[in-house]
């Protein structure tokens, strides 16, 4: 079943090269703008719970502000430890009429 897209922010609120943290249906999500393409990841680092939305963007990676673990923004893959359990949830994103929309999977997916 396809997840519904929910409107979250105007595109202009997430400038190129930036990250913005949001809450959407009790989930912390970090929105990243890489060269005009919006990506959405879970905002919590699986290592120690650091807020990825406050991390440093290094190319297509974000470094957790607490311990420096790096995650590939387009996929959520952890670069420190390639075990899948260390990856962060990636969400589908689209922009419609200048509004960023994020698809949330159901809690059972």
Position 60 in a domain: yes
pTM for the whole structure:
0.91
Domain count, the chain: 1
Position 83 in a domain: yes
Domain with 37 in it: what CATH number? 2.102.10.10
Position 108 in a domain: no
> What is the per-residue pLDDT across 71-107, written as a single tens digit (0 to 9) for each?
999 999 998 766 778 999 999 999 999 999 999 987 6
Measure the CA–CA gap between 59 and 4, rounded to whole angstroms.
30
> What is the per-residue pLDDT across 41-64, written as a single tens digit (0 to 9) for each?
999 999 889 999 999 999 999 999
Going across the sheet that includes 61-63, the strands are 56-58, 61-63, 70-72
User: What range defines the domain where residue 97 resides?
Assistant: 5-103
């Amino acid at each position: 079943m396809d997840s519904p897209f929910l409107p979250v922010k105007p595109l202009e609120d997430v400038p190129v090269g930036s990250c913005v943290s949001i809450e959407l249906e009790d989930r912390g999500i970090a929105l990243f703008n890489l060269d005009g393409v919006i990506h959405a990841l879970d905002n919590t680092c699986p290592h120690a719970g650091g807020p990825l939305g406050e991390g440093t963007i290094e190319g297509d990676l974000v470094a957790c502000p607490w311990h420096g673990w790096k995650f590939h923004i387009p996929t959520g893959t952890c670069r420190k430890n390639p075990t899948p359990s260390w990856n962060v949830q990636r969400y589908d994103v689209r922009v419609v009429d200048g509004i960023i929309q994020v698809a949330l999977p159901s809690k059972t997916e």
